[in-house]
Amino acid sequence: MANLDTSQAISSEAAISYAAVGGSGDRVLYTEGVFAVVRNGSGVSTTVTITVPGNTPYGVANPVKTRTVAAGADVPIPLLPSYVDPSDGRVAIACAPTTTISIAVMRA
């Protein structure tokens, strides 16, 4: 699991810098306006899973959030404050499968 700390500010001149996703997931440092861009370079779709910490008001675990990224697609995924693990200020993101999948962390 990799910690992804650097959020790139969006500008018309900034190149997007992608990194390979970690085999056991990644943890993104949360700041306001941050989102992940998942690039699927494989020939099959991949599922992005965000593990939301904590429990609902009914005492059951918060549901995970999932997003499917089609083969060959780039998909921006906004990261919300409710996704943040209060113990370290990070959002847990995992992709399956991980082969030829990369991620960039951006800030609006």
What is the C-alpha separation between 50 and 30, in angstroms, rounded? 13
Mean pLDDT score, 6-21: 74
- Over the stretch 25-65, which tens digit does the pLDDT of each residue have? 999 999 999 999 999 999 999 999 999 999 999 999 999 99
What is the C-alpha separation between 94 and 66, in angstroms, rounded? 10
Residue 68's pLDDT is what?
Answer: 97
Ramachandran bin of 83, using left for φ above 0, alpha for ψ from -120 to 50, beta for the remaining angles: alpha
Of 4 and 86, the one with more pLDDT: 86
pTM (whole model) above 0.85 = yes
Q: What residue ranges do the domains of the chain occupy?
A: 2-107
- Provide the pLDDT confidence category of residue 20 given band limits of 50, 70 and 90: very high
